[in-house]
Amino acid sequence: MKEYSQPAAYARLSGSADNPGLQGIAYFYPAPFGGVLIEAEVYGLPYQSVPINSQFYALHIHENGDCTLPFDKTGSHYNPNNLPHPQHAGDLPPLLGNQGYAYSAFYTDRFELPDILGRSLIIHSSADDFTTQPSGNAGTKIGCGVIVQNVMYPPG
């Protein structure tokens, strides 16, 4: 089994015009048995000044890697198999923010790293309800980052 100290890809997240303090980074590591391990850390989420406040935020991979404000060019959820929500390849577990901070690490086997390079990682203003079509009624896009290959990643 190969182990890597560097992620194979990453996305630097920045906030929307209404959330300019939002920033973060997500790292993408290939799992040795297929799929991807994703680690995300985000600061400046809404409600950071509300004491003892926790809030869920939807996290999705979208088709297009264009994070030009107001994030309206990111397209739909990444869904190469044309499945209903929440079975899109780009449907990810939600972030749990606590006073504006969130950390998450999880595994998915819905795609491999080459499939998502150049796409966008999106944070939405609300929790995904995992039911409403086509995107879970997740609210507006408040954070965006383009998934790019890490040039420091060790070759094959």
Q: What is the Cα–Cα distance from 90 to 80, expressed in whole angstroms?
A: 9
How confident is the model at residue 152, as a pLDDT?
78
Which amino acid is it at 97?
Answer: G
Question: What does pTM read for this prediction?
Answer: 0.92
Residues forming beta bridges with residue 101, ordered by sequence position: 98
The structure tokens listed for 4 are 């890597």
Q: What is the model's pLDDT at position 48?
A: 65
pLDDT of residue 135: 86
Q: Give the mean pLDDT per block of 10 residues along the chain (156 residues).
A: 75 97 97 94 84 86 98 97 93 94 96 97 95 91 97 68
Cβ–Cβ under 8 Å, residues 150 and 8: yes
Topology of the domain covering 9-149: Immunoglobulin-like (2.60.40)
- Looking at residue 155, its pLDDT comes to 56
Interatomic CA distance for residues 32 and 119, integer angstroms: 22
Q: Which residues lie across from 11 on neighbouring strands?
A: 26
